[in-house]
Amino acid sequence: MNPILDMSLNTAGGGAAQQVGHQFGLPEHQTSSALTQLVPALMAGLQRNTSQPGGLEALMGALRSGNHADYLDEPQMLTQEATTEDGDSILGHVFGSKDVSRAVAARASEQTGIGADVLKKMLPMVATLVMGALSKRTASVPSSASETAAGGFMNLLLDQNRDGSLADDAIGILGRFMGGR
């Protein structure tokens, strides 16, 4: 399983995933299914962003300066308006447009049977969960790490099939969400 997805589903006894499900009236299996579709799409967007000039540095800075891990440690925060605003901002950086977010929700809806409208509303919460999981994972990287060390760590985090290449993972995931329509 993707380590970020695993953290999103299981940190704090699964409290964050349970909070997401509760917020949208979904049973555990549907919440898990939604996260299984949405988290990889967000990770693919992050992979694309970190491959752009300055992208990795911007992500590492955001992870170090924000309190993103709190979303996993204190799941009740997920229902706050400020969390939705933070999630919308994250989505803007990750996907670049609301059209991409809509396409991700529509594709996830096809895969899960959950309404696209529900998944669109869920995406900001999921974005904060992903940033929270990444924040927890990067906490062990010293802030003085070189770009190469940080890049190697991010490759480890984001390389879903562990083949040493992020490109195939990003292309495959984005292809499923964008090209499968």
How far apart are alpha carbons 153 and 156 in whole angstroms? 5
Among candidate residues 16, 1, 14, the one with its CA nearest the CA of residue 132: 16
Q: How many folded domains does the chain comprise?
A: 1
Domain that holds residue 108: 3-179
Q: How many residues appear in the chain?
A: 181
Supply angle C-alpha 37, 129, 84, rounded to 5: 100
> Given a cut of 50, is residue 176 above it in pLDDT?
no
How does pLDDT run across 28-51, given as a tens digit for each residue? 899 989 998 998 899 888 888 888
> Given a cut of 60, is residue 138 above it in pLDDT?
yes
Residue 146 pLDDT level (bands cut at 50, 70, 90): very low
Dihedral angle computed from the Cα positions of residues 145, 88, 109 and 114, in that order, rounded to the nearest 10 degrees: 110
User: What spatial distance separates the first Cα and last Cα of the chain, rounded to whole Å?
Assistant: 25
Supply angle C-alpha 7, 12, 18, rounded to 5: 85
How far apart are alpha carbons 177 and 37 in whole angstroms? 9
> Given a cut of 50, is residue 145 above it in pLDDT?
no
